[in-house]
Structure 1
Amino acid sequence: MKRAIPVVVLSIAGLVPVWMYEPSALTSTTESAAPASTPSASASSSSGSSSGSNVVKGTTVNTEKGAVQVQVTFSGEQITAVKMLQQPNHPQTTAAVPKLIAETLEAQSADIDTVSGATITSDGYRESLQAAIDDNAKTASASPSPSASESSASASQTVDGSTVNTEKGAVQVQVTFAGDKITAVNMLQQPNHPQTTAAVPKLIAETLEAQSADIDTVSGATITSDGYKESLQAAIDAKG
């Protein structure tokens, strides 16, 4: 299954230091053994926002490798960001999370592939994700339909940032706005480098939190970070 680069939010990617590990570990090794625990799930919870987005916490799924829990941001029924609240402390999990988030944003559902070498984490991720999706659907069905003026005000706008040619390769972002709020960031171009791949989720997560290009540079990916911020600022300026 081909998957696009858009890891937004992937966002969110739990903000874990994934650049410390090589993504190749996903296909060369499997998750190491860890003390087993009884699988269980806690109730999910959600909270709305004045901008029309809905942030929902999925169930906490206790796997053999550790607890897995996601937090999902929705704009209506659209998944705009996914953040890891809990995940096993393991290299394969750390490397797998950006892929799981990227596939979620593309599929817009929990019907995504298992990441090789991180089967247990993948299963827990999907279970927690599905719980968040179900909870959001219940909230949406219980909410009154927005008026025409409200729908117009919350209409999304997608803007491509400038293409920034760095020493490592081209960097370009695509930003989705709901009014003045940044709801999603998608990478259109990025250097084919492990540090870049690992840094992108953190850059996107910080963007969604800061709602601007005034974000920190990711250690080990300075060049990509600078290109990202320049392209992002261009998109913000173009949106007006």
Structure 2
Amino acid sequence: MKRAIPVVVLSIAGLIPVWRYEPSTATSSTSQVAAPAPSTPASGGSSSRVVTGTTVDTEKGPVEVQVTFDGEKITAVRMLQQPNHPQTTAAVPKLVAETLRAQSADIDTVSGATITTEGYKESLQAAIDKNAAAASASPSASASASASVSSKKVVAGTTVDTEKGPVQVEVTFAGERIGSVRMLQQPNHPQTTAAVPKLIAETLQAQSADIDTVSGATITSEGYKESLQAALDAKGA
């Protein structure tokens, strides 16, 4: 009986290394989890692509933009992150309107919002670069962009005489879409100057003249919408 004890002890001791070095099932399972598949644009024959720019950390807070492209054309810009500051809030519509007009990140700095402007332009340029890289990898996208350029049409709206002065817009169409809006005539008034970028941004988002009147610039807004509608009607004629 006493001789049997060492044998049992050795048998148990021999199992210890097996238990100690047994692979962890949890660790193995975790290491084999696949990364999520990258999202792909919805099909439907459209060359529209939504691209997010880099997040730029500024002294005022993070700035990040999301850009919608139709081929290589910028059709919309949305702020995903921006500093919570009145000057930034006032600057963003101007930055978006300038972007849609210039079709690039080469835009003027908004007075009083220099830091936000620089962050905006950096994030915007990153989105433009991403879109260009994606477009170069897709021959069909390049062909669509060429077709879009060939279908461009510029139409001037009627001149609307208001109490503040004449208002006239010029609309550039990319196919059936409103690609950009430019003021040919507008009242020389601070409220008009502040209102115009908002009116243009709203137009590009709504793709029509059915937009809200800008508070404090009712007369200019009404003249703008009338001239805009005339341009839309002339395009369809």
* Superposition deviation, residue 189 in structure 1: 1.7
Report the residue type matching 2:211 in the other structure: I
Provide closer, same or farther for how the CA distance between residues 165 and 99 of structure 1 changes in structure 2, counting only shifts above 3 A.
same
Distance in 2, matches of 1:100 and 1:193, equals 20
The alignment status of 1:155 with 2:133, answered yes or no, reads no
Alignment of 1:1-240 (within 5 A): 51-101=46-96, 103-105=98-100, 107-145=102-140, 151=147, 155-240=151-236
Q: CA RMSD in A?
A: 3.0
Provide closer, same or farther for how the CA distance between residues 113 and 180 of structure 1 changes in structure 2, counting only shifts above 3 A.
closer
* Superposition deviation, residue 116 in structure 1: 4.3
* Superposition deviation, residue 59 in structure 1: 2.0
Distance in 2, matches of 1:142 and 1:113, equals 31
* Superposition deviation, residue 99 in structure 1: 4.7
Provide closer, same or farther for how the CA distance between residues 119 and 50 of structure 1 changes in structure 2, counting only shifts above 3 A.
same
Report the residue type matching 1:205 in the other structure: A
Provide closer, same or farther for how the CA distance between residues 169 and 71 of structure 1 changes in structure 2, counting only shifts above 3 A.
farther
TM-score, structure 2 length as denominator?
A: 0.69
RCO higher in 1 or 2 (8 Å CA, sep ≥ 6)? 1
* Superposition deviation, residue 89 in structure 1: 2.5
Distance in 2, matches of 1:46 and 1:228, equals 38
Report the residue type matching 1:129 in the other structure: L
Query: Which runs of 5 or more residues in structure 1 are unaligned?
Result: 1-44
Report the residue type matching 1:211 in the other structure: Q
Q: Which deviates further from its counterpart, 119-128 or 53-62?
A: 53-62
Report the residue type matching 2:170 in the other structure: Q
- Is the CA contact (8 Å cut-off) linking 1:46 and 1:56 kept in structure 2? no
Distance in 2, matches of 1:153 and 1:106, equals 15
Provide closer, same or farther for how the CA distance between residues 112 and 176 of structure 1 changes in structure 2, counting only shifts above 3 A.
closer
Instruction: Considering fraction of residues, name the structure with more helix.
Output: 2
Query: Which runs of 5 or more residues in structure 2 are unaligned?
Result: 1-38
Structure 2 equivalent of residue 3 of structure 1: none
Provide closer, same or farther for how the CA distance between residues 204 and 83 of structure 1 changes in structure 2, counting only shifts above 3 A.
farther
Distance in 1, matches of 2:149 and 2:51, equals 23
* Superposition deviation, residue 237 in structure 1: 0.7
* Superposition deviation, residue 85 in structure 1: 3.5
Structure 1 equivalent of residue 33 of structure 2: none
- Is the CA contact (8 Å cut-off) linking 1:73 and 1:79 kept in structure 2? yes
TM-score, structure 1 length as denominator?
A: 0.68
* Superposition deviation, residue 210 in structure 1: 2.3
Distance in 2, matches of 1:55 and 1:175, equals 23
Distance in 2, matches of 1:192 and 1:54, equals 38
Distance in 2, matches of 1:239 and 1:163, equals 16
| Alignment length (residue pairs) | 195
